Amino acid sequence: VLAGCGTAPAGPPAPPGTAAVAGGTQTARTPVPSAAQLDSAQRACARPGSYLTAVRTGKHRGYDRVVFQFSGGLPSVRTERVTTVYDDPRGTPVPLAGKSRLHVVFRGASAFCPQPAHRTWAGPRVLAPRYSQLLMVKAAGDFEGYLSFGIGLAARGGYHADPLVTILLAT
C-alpha cells in the first residue's frame, strides 16, 4: 500500500510484478511483459521471496514515471516525502539532485538472491534521467528485508504511488 499526495487518479492497475510511483493528472500504463519475460523474471531467484529485477524511468506528457519490477510477487511498499533520504543500514545521508525528495521502502524485498548468491538487479545504483520533474533515482539500502530508494525531484510537485510499484510525478 502506497501513500501519496497529489491529484492523480488511481487509474488501471499495472501488470503483475511491477510497481510505480507517480504524480499529476494521468497515470501511466506499464506494458504487459511477454510470457518469456515473465518466465525469466520468475527465475530471478530459486529461493522464495520478492526480488527486484528492474528499475525503469519514463518521460510522458504531463508526468514522469518510475517503475520497480519484482519477481516472486510484490512486496509491501511505503512512499513518503522527506527532507533527507538516509542509507540503510549506515544512516548516512544519500545525496540526491533536486529540491524535493521521496523515500520509497519495499518491505520483504531484496535485490540479492542468497542461494545461489547473485544480484537479481544488475542495474546501476544511480539513475539520472534529468527529466523536467524526475532528476534522480538512487539505491538507498538493501538490508534485512528492507529495500529502499531515494528519488530526487526538481520541485515539490504532486505524486501518486500505486500498490503495484509505479510512481508518477507531475511535471
The full 3-state SS of 28-92, as one line of letters, equals CCCCCCCHHHHHHHHCCCCCCCEEEEEEEEEEECCEEEEEEEEECCCCEEEEEEECCCECECCCC
Average pLDDT over residues 58-79: 93
pLDDT of residue 43: 65
pLDDT of residue 55: 95
| 113-169 residue pLDDT tens | 998 999 999 899 999 999 999 999 999 999 999 999 999 999 998 888 876 677 888
pLDDT confidence tier of residue 44, bands split at 50, 70 and 90: confident
User: Across all residues in the chain, what is the average pLDDT?
Assistant: 79
Residue 39 to residue 137: CA distance in whole angstroms? 27
pLDDT greater than 90 at residue 26: no
All three cell numbers of 158, joined, read: 504532486
pLDDT of residue 168: 82
pLDDT of residue 31: 41
pLDDT of residue 6: 28
Q: Looking at per-residue confidence, does 63 or 32 come out higher?
A: 63
Answer whether 77's CB lies under 8 Å from 3's CB: no
Where do we find the cell 538472491? 113
| 4-15 residue pLDDT tens | 222 333 333 444
Answer whether 53's CB lies under 8 Å from 71's CB: yes
Q: CB burial class (10 A; 0-12, 13-18, 19+) of residue 161?
A: buried
